[in-house]
């Protein structure tokens, strides 16, 4: 069974929509989007039905299977636009928190703007001293009557500079670690918030930012869920987030392989096509094998996710393999492109740079290995 048939007919329609949107609305405008996304981009995405896809129909959304986020991410990885845009469309992961934990008033306030593209979202979690170790965040939210007062700083925040709605994780009880954190819906135009755009190695339109909170007052009704439940909210979403990142890795690896195969068939050196050399053939075979293994892992993960049996270990194994596989494939592709692969104007070059960060965010490779390793200490636990 191929990956497309595993997603199902409904999600294949989402795939076609995402592919058409990227080809017709985004790829022709890539030079315009070099310095960041604009209102037109977000409204075009909304018009295509690619924002708030999992919001229930009776609340103004498409009511799609949450795996639609994986399909969109896969197509973003496959498109030349992906290496420019970064993970901006993946901001819809934020919506999953609001769907699952939001009060009716919160949903009514924000869902319409999310679906229309008027509200850009960001997840303000990472801090300079706490990336993979989310429980060590230092941003605080202290109760003051009918408000919380937020102080702290977040960094490496995707969509952070242009966002309208921030999902801010902060400590409401500093005596506890994970159980002392709460999540807040913070309008980006709140007084005492400042932001700084951070230049990055790749994703020129990706909008990666620092956000500073200096006595930012947030009404109690802006707290998402109960106090102390901020970290708990992440658990159901983490698996889906890793899935969509790994889907992007698969899409990018497949696209890069196809581009490079075509290049080796057309490129001539020493009066032979590049593909005629045995070394080239072996490198291509290694890439195809890697991609095929990745596709099989994704197929298994999708099946388990739908059945509700995708374990933390399954999720970590997937997050270890897929971005590393993508990077291996892109590295080989650049080598086969030679000097052209080093030029920033070449799609393959940008895809290579984009592949690097996949191994870091949403839990770096090393963190995933450490999570797996915890199980090895338990002699009573059957691993394989």
- Contact between residue 237 and residue 97 where contact means Cβ atoms under 8 Å apart: yes
Tell me the per-residue pLDDT of 181-192, one tens digit each, with 9 for 90 and over: 999 999 999 999
Computed over every residue of the chain, the mean pLDDT equals 93
- Contact between residue 323 and residue 355 where contact means Cβ atoms under 8 Å apart: yes
C-alpha 44/C-alpha 51 separation (Å) is: 10
Residue 6: per-residue pLDDT: 76
Domains and CATH numbers, the chain: 3-116 (1.10.540.10), 121-228 (2.40.110.10), 232-376 (1.20.140.10)
Residue 267: per-residue pLDDT: 97
C-alpha 82/C-alpha 60 separation (Å) is: 27
Where do the DSSP E strands lie in 242-312?
A: 268-269, 272-273
Q: What's the rounded mean pLDDT across residues 205-213?
A: 93
* Cβ neighbours for 102, distance < 8 A, ≥ 6 positions apart: 110, 185, 224
Q: Which residue has the tokens 């291509």?
A: 284
| Enclosing H/E stretch for 121 | strand 121-124
Share of the chain above pLDDT 90, in %: 82
Q: How buried is 298 (Cβ within 10 angstroms: 0-12 exposed, 13-18 middle, 19+ buried)?
A: buried
Instruction: Say yes or no to pLDDT of 8 above 70.
Output: yes
C-alpha 90/C-alpha 203 separation (Å) is: 13
Closest CA to 40 of 55, 57, 59, 21: 21
Q: How buried is 145 (Cβ within 10 angstroms: 0-12 exposed, 13-18 middle, 19+ buried)?
A: exposed
- Contact between residue 301 and residue 224 where contact means Cβ atoms under 8 Å apart: no
Q: What's the rounded mean pLDDT across residues 164-188?
A: 94
Closest CA to 310 of 370, 236, 360: 236
In sequence order, what are the beta bridge partners of 169?
183
Tell me the per-residue pLDDT of 304-345, one tens digit each, with 9 for 90 and over: 999 999 999 999 999 999 999 999 999 999 999 999 999 999
Angle at 105 between CA 101 and CA 110, to 5 degrees: 80
pLDDT-based confidence at residue 2 (cuts at 50, 70, 90): low
Tell me the per-residue pLDDT of 42-69, one tens digit each, with 9 for 90 and over: 999 999 999 999 999 999 999 999 999 9
Phi, psi of 268 (to 5 degrees): -115, 140
Residue 36: per-residue pLDDT: 87
pLDDT-based confidence at residue 5 (cuts at 50, 70, 90): low
Which of helix, strand or coil describes residue 138? coil
Share of the chain above pLDDT 70, in %: 97
Tell me the per-residue pLDDT of 271-295, one tens digit each, with 9 for 90 and over: 999 999 999 999 999 999 999 999 9
Instruction: Say yes or no to pLDDT of 1 above 60.
Output: no
Stretch among 61-65, 119-123, 233-237, 245-249 having the lowest mean pLDDT: 233-237
| Enclosing H/E stretch for 147 | strand 147-158
Tell me the per-residue pLDDT of 66-77, one tens digit each, with 9 for 90 and over: 999 999 999 999
Stretch among 99-108, 229-238, 242-251, 285-294 having the lowest mean pLDDT: 229-238
- pTM: predicted TM-score of the whole model, two decimal places: 0.94
Phi, psi of 249 (to 5 degrees): -60, -45
Tell me the per-residue pLDDT of 80-129, one tens digit each, with 9 for 90 and over: 999 998 877 777 899 999 999 999 999 999 999 999 999 999 999 999 98
Q: What is the DSSP letter of 23?
A: I
Q: HEC profile for 31-81?
A: CCCCCCCCHHHHHHHHHCCCCCCCCCHHHCCCCCCCCHHHHHHHHHHHCCC
Closest CA to 240 of 105, 360, 89, 73: 73
What number of other Cβ atoms are within 10 A of residue 158's Cβ?
24
Residue 194: per-residue pLDDT: 98
In sequence order, what are the beta bridge partners of 142?
149
């Amino acid at each position: 069974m191929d990956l497309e048939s595993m997603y199902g007919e409904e999600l294949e329609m989402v795939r076609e929509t995402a592919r058409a949107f990227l080809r017709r609305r985004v790829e022709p405008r890539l030079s315009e989007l070099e310095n960041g996304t604009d209102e037109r981009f977000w409204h075009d995405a909304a018009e295509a039905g690619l924002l708030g896809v999992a919001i229930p129909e009776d609340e103004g959304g498409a009511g799609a299977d949450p795996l639609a986020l994986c399909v969109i991410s896969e197509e973003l990885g496959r498109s030349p636009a992906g290496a420019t845009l970064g993970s901006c469309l993946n901001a819809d992961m934020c919506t999953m928190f609001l769907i699952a934990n939001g009060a009716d008033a919160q949903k009514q306030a924000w869902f319409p703007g999310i679906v229309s593209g008027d509200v850009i979202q960001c997840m303000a979690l990472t801090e300079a001293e706490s990336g993979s170790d989310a429980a060590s965040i230092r941003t605080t939210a202290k109760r003051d009557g009918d408000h919380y007062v937020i102080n702290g700083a977040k960094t490496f925040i995707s969509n952070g500079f242009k966002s309208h709605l921030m999902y801010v994780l902060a400590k409401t009880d500093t005596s506890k670690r994970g159980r002392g954190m709460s999540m807040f819906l913070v309008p980006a135009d709140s007084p005492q918030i400042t932001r700084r755009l951070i230049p990055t190695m790749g994703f020129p339109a990706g909008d990666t930012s620092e956000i500073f909170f200096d006595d930012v007052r947030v009404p109690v009704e802006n707290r998402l869920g109960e106090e102390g439940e901020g970290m708990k909210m992440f658990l159901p979403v983490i698996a889906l987030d890793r899935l969509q990142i790994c889907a992007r890795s698969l899409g990018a690896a497949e696209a890069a392989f196809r581009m490079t195969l075509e290049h080796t068939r057309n490129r001539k050196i020493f009066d032979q096509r590049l593909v005629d050399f045995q070394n080239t053939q072996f490198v291509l075979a290694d890439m195809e094998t890697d991609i095929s293994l990745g596709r099989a892992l994704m197929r298994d993960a999708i099946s388990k996710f739908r059945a509700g049996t995708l374990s933390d270990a399954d999720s970590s194994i997937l997050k270890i393999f897929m971005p590393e596989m993508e990077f291996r494939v892109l590295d080989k592709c650049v080598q086969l492109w030679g000097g052209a692969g080093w030029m920033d104007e070449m799609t393959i070059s940008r895809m290579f740079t984009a592949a690097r960060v996949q191994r870091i965010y949403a839990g770096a490779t090393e963190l995933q290995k450490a999570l797996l390793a915890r199980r090895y200490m338990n002699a009573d636990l059957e691993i394989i």
